[in-house]
Amino acid sequence: MAAPPLSSDPLRLDGKRALVTGASRGIGRATAEAFAAAGAAAVAVNYARSTGEAESAGDALRESGTEVEVIRADVSDPAQVESMFEQLRARWDGIDILVNNAAITHDGLAMLLGAQAWDETLAVNLRGPFLCARHALRPMIKRRWGRIINVVSPAALFGKAGAANYAAAKGGLLSFSKSLAREVGRYGITVNAVCPGLIDTRLIAGIPAEDRALHEREIALGRFGTPAEVAQAIRFLASPAASYVSGATLVVDGGMTMA
């Protein structure tokens, strides 16, 4: 397969259509905004519960001139995922870029963790990306071009005490990314993972000041990251500039893990 030609600005996403799951806030919303700023023709904002935030994100994207679809769907539910992709096929003939960002946590020590907390965490964080990727792939294969980016976590690499379910899901997602990259590379589709460290989102907003200071001392850059910084890494992997990057994990953690 010949290498695709690069444009004068290979970070542009002109003409591309993207779906970002869990895009009502945080890293997901920042990623949708980064795609719009890079010239994406259309961006779908997926969410599960926060209707007001999702509509706000959609309105902000429309102001940039990007075509926007705001879609409520629980990515762990096969029927809802199928309906979402039917909607995207009808409107845009599928998507070119999939960002699997939606995630939940149900923390607890493994000995005390209930089966429901385990199952729900893996359903959203692992089954959801599988369901979305399965539906996204057919149009990508047809066009011989596609990008799938899965958002993982340092827990996938090192484990996390008190969150074995989350670590297992993210570790599984990392392995899924590599396996899928091997399956679809011949069609011009890349599959990669982005691994954010401690990012200033609602997820860690309540962290005590002393704990935050301790973590900041462990980070080479001495601070937490921003959703926009992670979004730029995702934008790179989604762009033509990353045409020879697949099966990789891009760690965006300010030097916290040195993974």
Question: pLDDT of 166-178, one tens digit each?
Answer: 999 999 999 999 9
Is the pLDDT score of 3 beyond 80?
no
pLDDT range class, residue 49, cuts 50, 70, 90: very high
Q: Tell me which residue of 257, 216, 196 sits closest to 22, measured CA to CA.
A: 196
Stretch 214-243: mean pLDDT: 97
Asked whether the predicted pLDDT for residue 203 surpasses 90, the reply is: no
Please tell me the pTM assigned to this model. 0.95
Structure tokens at 138: 């057919």
Q: Is residue 166 annotated as part of the catalytic site, yes or no?
A: yes
Entry field: residues in the chain: 259
Strand partners, 225: 199
pLDDT value at position 259?
Answer: 63
The active-site residue, picked from 47, 166, 187, 244, is: 166
Q: Which residue in the block uniquely carries the two structure tokens 């989102």?
A: 201
pLDDT in tens, 124-143: 999 999 999 999 999 999 99
- Over residues 155-181, the mean pLDDT reads 96
| Mean pLDDT (the chain, rounded) | 95
Comparison of pLDDT for 205 and 16, the residue scoring more: 16
What pLDDT was estimated at residue 207?
Answer: 86
Contacts of 139 (CB under 8 A, 6+ apart): 89, 93, 94, 95, 96, 146
Mean pLDDT of 19-35: 98
**φ, ψ of residue 181 in degrees (nearest 5):** -60, -40
The structural domains of the chain, ordered by start, are 17-252 (3.40.50.720)
Average pLDDT over residues 163-188: 98
Asked whether the predicted pLDDT for residue 6 surpasses 90, the reply is no
pLDDT at 200 over 80: yes
pLDDT computed for residue 77 by the predictor: 98
Distance CA 106, CA 115 (A): 11
Q: Which amino acid is at 124?
A: V
Could you tell me the two tokens for 234?
A: 């995702």
Q: Please determine, for residue 36, whether its predicted confidence score (pLDDT) is greater than 80.
A: yes
Region 221-239 average pLDDT: 97
Q: Is the dihedral of CA 231, 232, 238, 243 positive or negative?
A: negative
